[in-house]
Structure 1
Amino acid sequence: MAKRAIALLFLAAAVSAALLYYLRRGTRAAQSSTIPDLITLVPPEAPYLIYADLAALRSSPFLASLMASVPAPAVDKQYAQFVRATGFEYTRDLDRVVLALIPKLPANQTVALAEGRFDQQKITSFALLTGKLEHQDGAEVYVLPATTNSGAASFVFLGANRMALTDGPRLAVLPPRASGGLAPDMRERISRVAGSALFAVGKVGPVPENFALGGLRSEQFTRLMHSVRWFTLAVRPESDRMRVALEAECDSPENARQMAGTLDGLRLLGQASLSDPNTRKRLEPEALRLLDSLLRIVEVSRDDLHVRLALELTPEMLSSLPRVIAPKTPVTSPPLR
């Protein structure tokens, strides 16, 4: 139980990031910016990562309005017990988080790094109710046993306000890495979006031959997907609105040109589909208005190898959200406030 509660510290941030990703698609990529120090601890072999400056997101009027417009989720009992025992509540005490995915066999490994306000004595005491303390590479690592619902996990404090957690009994971030630990190609892509409050960067692996978009298969689109080498997502709050961009980096300017044309064609096709009477019967009016707004304002652009989907989310769009994204099942962590 201790492992699940501590893991919620990081997974809650991932849920917040996933929600933001679902709601948005676009902003112009940031100019080259300083890479957050927390990211320099990510294992250099990790091809995918998500970074969230939760302190900045909490101060966003747009996000505050967004969370106020949707139903509050139920609170997980184990998470509530963790909060009572440790005094840590992620919506208040977690400031920045990085999630890195490392493809491995037999199972992928996830590494989470976090900055915030932690009562180390209370958190370690709670962890030792079911876990144990080990010394790995000169560091004190707390190992939490596997349960019927999840595998083993481990975490370590990297400083007064910093900690790391990973699935499995051994951490992948020891010893602390110097700022040169990132691979040059990953560093270059991160620098393009590092000024954003939330961003994701990934090196695209092999695309299945039977790849389908929304259940529709297209040989041309599958071929174009094979040309994508990297992707980035950037979310930047600006006063009462949110700018977002999703960018794909192709292997040639020609493939990027075709990708941009295909995506713009799909956007127009989506608009036409929303005008179809059968589609309008299947969707709630709020969903129709929201989808129509998104398809109208999304911008598709291209710059050499890069194809970008960009849009700006406004307060007017929030009125359609409650019925569109209302959860059908209870969420197991409190909302980001």
Structure 2
Amino acid sequence: MVLVAAVAAVAAVLYWAWRSRPEAAPAAQPVPGLAWVPAESGLVAGINLAAVRGQPWLVGELRGVAGAQTETLDYRAFVEATGFDYARDLDRVWLGVYGASEQPTVAGVAEGRFAHEKILTHARAQGARVTLQEGIELYEVRTRAQPAGSFAFAFLNATHVAFGSDARAAARVVECWQGRAAAVGADAGRRGKLERLAAGQSLWAVDDLARWQPTFLRAQKDLQSVVTVLAVGVAVSGQGLTLEAEARCREPQLARQLHDNLRIAALAGRLALARQPDSASRAAGEALGNLTFTREGDAVRVRVLLPPSLVAALLGSPAPAPARP
């Protein structure tokens, strides 16, 4: 009897250890867009819209959110003239952000299905300025939305479009596409880190704070003294949304402090939100309660799975019906 009890106890411990093991991170995969995003980009991001379309429950939620938003005059006119629907025709986007925090430069590549001639005809009708960039036509149009600005693009081939917040940014992408300018992917070390963080994610963003910071982060001096790189990712599946975040700290001791502070903040937030009368706040509190925190060397990672019902509650919409087998 003692032997049986001992074996059972050992088995229980082994089972607990197996269940508590850290989930293996997806293997890093090549990210094509890193070869086209300018090397000076501090924030690099990507989105796989094709993967999102593969999850009907999420498509329904996003349509509900989009329906509550007002489209800009520029986009509405573009859709009417070209028939382009980003939710249907756009597959993947990679972009980089650099320059001044107050007026950042955005440059990237979109992959999908484009009505080439209709888009060019619409651009010309809007008075686009056309320049030739090493054999590729580059179009720059002024936007009507306030504050007024510009948007530039160039067809790289039938399925890829370079874009930028101005003609210079779009031209920079064309240069990277043609191999005449350095792209983010030219740095093997940086490319490897980005591919690791992007692995398995439907949406991801990595900000190297030494290269570029959004305005709201520039004001966070305490955070800047601790963190060097911030990364976020969202993986879409039939189980819901898996949100992950990683902060690289200046040294392991700072990572330990950040890890502890985040756990305390999550607990305090959960308790405060649980007392709120609205369902969205309570759902946010539940999400905070489901967070898992890990620390490894100078890195702190946070992860949470939001099932479809919880996503619906956070967005204030009815819970989606369970998928039929």
Corresponding residue of 2:291? 298
* Residues 157 and 163 in structure 1, CA contact (< 8 A), matched pair in contact too: yes
Q: Deviations over 1:174-231 (max 9, x none)?
A: 22155884334431321212321111111014797863xxxxxxxxxx5454121111
User: Do the aligned residues in 2 keep the contact of 1:249 with 1:305 (CA within 8 Å)?
Assistant: yes
Structure 2 length-normalised TM: 0.77
Partner of residue 136 from structure 1, selected from 133, 136, 141: 133
Q: Report SS of the residue matched to 2:269.
A: helix
Q: RMSD in angstroms over aligned alpha carbons?
A: 2.9
Displacement after TM superposition at 1:289 (Å): 1.7
Greater Rg, structure 1 or structure 2? 2
Distance 1:113 1:292 in 2: 37
Are the equivalent residues in 1 in contact too, given 2:279–2:313 (CA < 8 A)? yes
Partner of 2:91: 95
Which structure has the higher relative contact order (CA within 8 Å, separation 6+)? 1
Question: Judging changes above 3 Å, is the alpha-carbon distance between structure 1 residues 286 and 79 closer, same or farther for their aligned structure 2 residues?
Answer: same
Which among 204, 218, 229 is matched to residue 199 of structure 1? 204
Matching residue of 1:79: 75
Q: How does 1:142-157 map to 2 (within 5 A)?
A: 142-145=139-142, 149-157=147-155
Q: Map of 1:1-337 to 2, 5 A cutoff?
A: 30-67=25-62, 70=65, 72-73=67-68, 74-104=70-100, 107-129=103-125, 130-145=127-142, 149-170=147-168, 171-175=171-175, 176-178=177-179, 181-195=185-199, 196-205=201-210, 211=220, 223=222, 225-274=224-273, 280=275, 283-323=276-316
Q: Is the 8 A contact 1:32 1:194 kept in 2?
A: no
CA distance in 1, matches of 2:52, 2:61: 11
How many residues align structurally? 283
User: Runs of 5+ in structure 1 lacking a partner?
Assistant: 1-26, 212-221, 326-337
Partner Cα separation in structure 2 for residue 237 and residue 107 of structure 1:
31
> In 2, distance between residues paired with 1:63 and 1:159?
30
Cα distance, 1:143 vs structure 2: 2.1
Distance in 1, matches of 2:32 and 2:62, equals: 29
Post-superposition offset of 1:33: 1.5
Which residue identity lines up with residue 299 of structure 2 in the other structure? H
> Contact between 1:28 and 1:245, CA under 8 Å: does it hold in 2?
no
Residues 231-257 of structure 1 deviation map (CA, whole Å, 9 limit, x = unaligned): 111211122312110110112111111
2:51 partner letter: A
**How high is the sequence identity, in percent, across the aligned residues?**
28
Give the 3-state SS of the residue equivalent to 1:88 in structure 2. coil
Native 8 Å contact 2:34 2:191 kept in 1: no
Is the partner of 2:167 in helix, strand or coil?
Answer: coil
Change (3 A) 1:121 1:83: same
Q: Matched residues in 2 for 1:269 and 1:50: separation?
A: 31
Paired residue for 1:9? Answer: none
Q: 1:85 to 1:236 in 2, by over 3 A?
A: same
Letter in 1 for 2:50: A
Distance in structure 2 (CA, Å) of the matches to 1:154 and 1:71? 25
Asked if 1 retains the 8 angstrom alpha-carbon contact of 2:41 and 2:184, the reply is no
> Which runs of 5 or more residues in structure 2 are unaligned?
1-21, 319-325
Task: Say if 2:111 and 2:159, in contact at 8 Å, map to a contact too.
Answer: yes
Verify the 8 A CA contact 1:234 1:244 in the aligned structure 2. yes
Deviation at 1:62, TM superposition (A): 4.2
- Separation (CA, whole Å) in 2 of partners of 1:60 and 1:126: 32
